[in-house]
Structure 1
């Protein structure tokens, strides 16, 4: 009986610790504000739409001055993007980086709560964006030094956003690694992130993984609707594809043995039209479950709630191919496309229990 009581007490303590950790960590969801549409509302209307829907984090892909001005005193935290086309000048000229920071950061800080600067998006050293790759790290470093010179390097973190194509082996997640042909590009960036205590930004899309391999990946696993753990990877259990993909990034970083780096999910979404499995219902279920999931960590990082930015705020009619036009959470009319909210609405105690079920071995397994 005493042994049983101490086991219960230990479990309650562990639940309490997890609950406290998750409660302390702000689990608010973010939404990416793309602007590639000719029928979108004004920046000021967009910021009001974020506020009225309790969306407290935003990502923009370039330093749009109207958006930055409208964000003043809004309380919305921001990922501020550096377009790939600007990387060369920022990498090769420290004065350009200092001027960029003055114009787009210091002129708005602190009334605009810039949290991260994403220097480049989905640059791949092998493929269509390979020309930009040589400029990513020096541009990051020059912007970081400009931020550091003003004493803001602990408040504004400078990073870059990658996509999942840089992962080579991703199954099982614990054996994940970055592709051999991108290590010369990524390893120095990871080394910088360790030094600067900055997270890696990762765009994580179960939709594309499922659409590319529906034979081996089930739709419930991709949509968070699987009733049970489908993949066991040692002590880690995976009930959904998002967690498996996120942990493959965690493991790939860990397996470089360079150092510990957190991961922020800088994009994730599901299109409602335009391609295989791109339906309104699939998008609604995925996005609703992703918002609910935002309050907890992944199996490999259960102690830290995952910071997630949904893609995207609006359907953008100037994007291609067709499915890229249908990722919006809102129509350009500002009407909500889906019925759910964005407050990360799950009970933290319930999250802790869920996480224990997903990641800790049962007594019967020992």
Structure 2
């Protein structure tokens, strides 16, 4: 029952998102696809999920050839990374960068749509002193891209932790640490000259965990009913995310870099932690990410930059079991490695989801049916039909040649039968008839001749005279369906919330 309700909730978000695909603009939300684990799905499986629903944006942390191959010709736009371990050779010799581009990038571009290259990651947090290597490596990467004629299509930047700031409160006093001035000044000059974003990783979770007496949980989760006032500007802050972003804006302005835009390349909340990490729970992770999505897609901006677009990547797609540190480090994922959801999210951004109430969601008990929309395109119907008959666990025997529902041999007719079977299998709720806006709920029985459309006869099974075998799934196949559709949903919202520049 919990799996079924969770699936219905996920599919609800999925259908709503795809309905709005044609109307998406403004700030962008993406997902970080980390792979520091030994039990994750293959890149090909992840790419298949992405391709099925025309997902376009993803961040990866290296230039793994298998990943680039998997995402070739999918239309996905990738942010790829150069690890800190490669900074020295990339900074020392242009030939090393040129070789890397020639072997690891150019053979797969533009089939693999790379739009950003991040040179180094949080170098100020690195135990090795590699900060001085960042800008030389960035310059060499840019030079290599210019040789290939790609410098206007692929932006070069570097990601940073909030540790680059020596002060972040109040936001108006935000300032870069003088310890890093030697590399930050040329870095900012590079970003301004090349119109590249300053990439920052923002984690209110850590601020709360390290100082719960000074930071309220509600303030970290976008749930605060009170306001924190910046005494210098009079600006009011209701959440830590905005305060940290504005601290960075003020730090940039203090150095007269007012044109550099900010991009959040990581943010999120862990769903599980060590015994002392009491805030690392599925409920808090769900609350933070749902409120974050709502905050971003509404183009709320920040108190210092109201209405300004802000691109954000949520960390991360999967839990990663090889990450060192406290238990929370391995539990930032929206999905388990088997692709089942860790918790449900309201991807519409309307409100936080109450997991208990959603788990008790019931359907219409067979008084309605679900059919394919006559306005849907053939491609959309074919994709949805293929999904329903495979990952959706629908028994599509009845629409095969010589079977009761094969005639009329049309895509709309076959999709209608499959849509309804899925709809009834999953509680006959409104949300199970979404199919990206291609399903339509009707009250008139669409059955004809010997083709009888299924209706709900119990909470966990359906019946149809065209196929007397119960269409219920085993718990393992249900988990698989939940995982696949949940994965599609998480990746689907990226295509909606990203705007093509």
Pick aligned residue for 1:146 from 139, 144, 147: 144
Report whether the alignment pairs 1:331 with 2:333: no
Match in the other structure for 1:189: 187
Secondary structure (helix, strand or coil) at the match of 2:322 reads: coil
Structure 2: how far apart are the matches of 1:225 and 1:160?
Answer: 31
Q: 1:176 to 1:336 in 2, by over 3 A?
A: same
1:282 aligns with 2:287: no
Which residue pairs with 2:323 in the alignment? 319
Answer yes or no: is 1:107 the counterpart of 2:112.
Answer: no
Distance change (3 Å), C-alpha of 1:267 and 1:32: same
Could you tell me how far 1:55 is from its partner in structure 2? 5.3
State the Cα deviation string for residues 67-89 of structure 1 (Å, max 9, x = none): 11111122222110001101111
- SS of the residue corresponding to residue 176 of structure 2 reads coil
Q: Partner of 1:356 in structure 2?
A: none
Query: Map of 1:260-275 to 2, 5 A cutoff?
Result: 260-275=259-274
Using the TM superposition, give the Cα deviation of residue 196 of structure 1 relative to its aligned residue in structure 2, in angstroms. 0.9
Q: What CA distance in whole angstroms lies between the structure 2 residues aligned with 1:302 and 1:92?
A: 42
Q: Does 1:304 align with 2:308?
A: yes
Residues 29 and 343 of structure 1 are in contact (CA less than 8 Å); yes or no, is this contact kept in structure 2?
no
**Which whole-Å CA distance do the structure 1 matches of 2:50 and 2:190 have between them?**
33
Which 5+ residue runs of structure 1 have no aligned equivalent? 1-22, 347-366
Quick one: distance in 2 between partners of 1:305 and 1:345? 19
**Normalising by structure 1, what TM-score?**
0.82
Aligned partner of 2:30 in structure 1 is 30
Is residue 29–residue 55 contact of structure 1 (8 Å, CA) maintained in 2? Answer: no
Cα contact 1:168–1:176 (8 A) shared by 2: yes
- The 5-angstrom pairing of residues 58-97 of structure 1 reads 58-97=58-97
State the Cα distance separating 1:51 from its structure 2 match. Answer: 5.0
Q: 2: distance between equivalents of 1:318 and 1:77?
A: 26
Query: Which residue of the partner structure matches residue 20 of structure 1?
Result: none
| Distance 1:76-1:187 versus aligned 2 partners, 3 A rule | same
Give the number of aligned pairs: 322
Change (3 A) 1:255 1:83: same
Q: Map residues 213-252 of structure 1 onto 2, 5 A cutoff.
A: 213-232=211-230, 234-252=233-251
Shift in CA distance, 342/55, structure 1 to aligned 2, threshold 3 Å: farther
CA contact (8 A) 1:247 1:299 kept: yes
Does the 8 A contact of 2:69 with 2:108 survive in 1? yes
Written as runs of structure 1 = structure 2, the 5 A alignment for 1:124-203 is 124=124, 128-203=126-201
Contact 1:202 1:267 in 2 (8 A): yes
Contact 2:319/2:336 (<8 A) preserved:
yes
- Residue 408 of structure 2 is matched in structure 1 by none
Q: Distance in 1 between matches of 2:139 and 2:256?
A: 21
CA distance in 1, matches of 2:53, 2:320: 20
Q: Quote the residue 1:210 is aligned against.
A: 208
- Measured after TM superposition, the shift of residue 232 of structure 1 is 4.0
Q: Distance in 1 between matches of 2:206 and 2:347?
A: 23
Q: Distance in 1 between matches of 2:104 and 2:24?
A: 30
CA spacing shift, 1:55–1:24, aligned 2, 3 Å: closer
Using a 3 Å threshold, how does the CA distance of structure 1 residues 232 and 175 change in structure 2: closer, same or farther?
Answer: closer
- Superposition deviation, residue 65 in structure 1: 1.0
1:122 aligns with 2:127: no
| Local SS of the residue matching 2:181 | helix
Gaps of 5+ in 2: 1-22, 352-501
Q: Is the 8 A contact 1:114 1:156 kept in 2?
A: yes
Distance 1:272 1:63, change over 3 A: same
Contact 1:118 1:158 in 2 (8 A): yes
| TM-score normalised according to structure 2 size | 0.61
Paired with 1:154 and 1:202, the residues of 2 have a C-alpha distance of 22
Residues 146 and 26 from structure 1, CA distance in 2 versus in 1: closer, same or farther, beyond 3 angstroms? farther
**How many Å apart are 1:344 and its aligned residue?**
6.1
Q: Matches of 2:163 and 2:85 in 1, distance apart? A: 21
Match of 1:354 in 2: none
Displacement of 1:53: 7.3
* CA deviation map 1:105-127 (0-9, x unaligned): 32222222212111000001xx6
- Cα deviation digits, residues 10-66 of structure 1 (max 9, x gap): xxxxxxxxxxxxx88443421111111111100011123345677542111111111
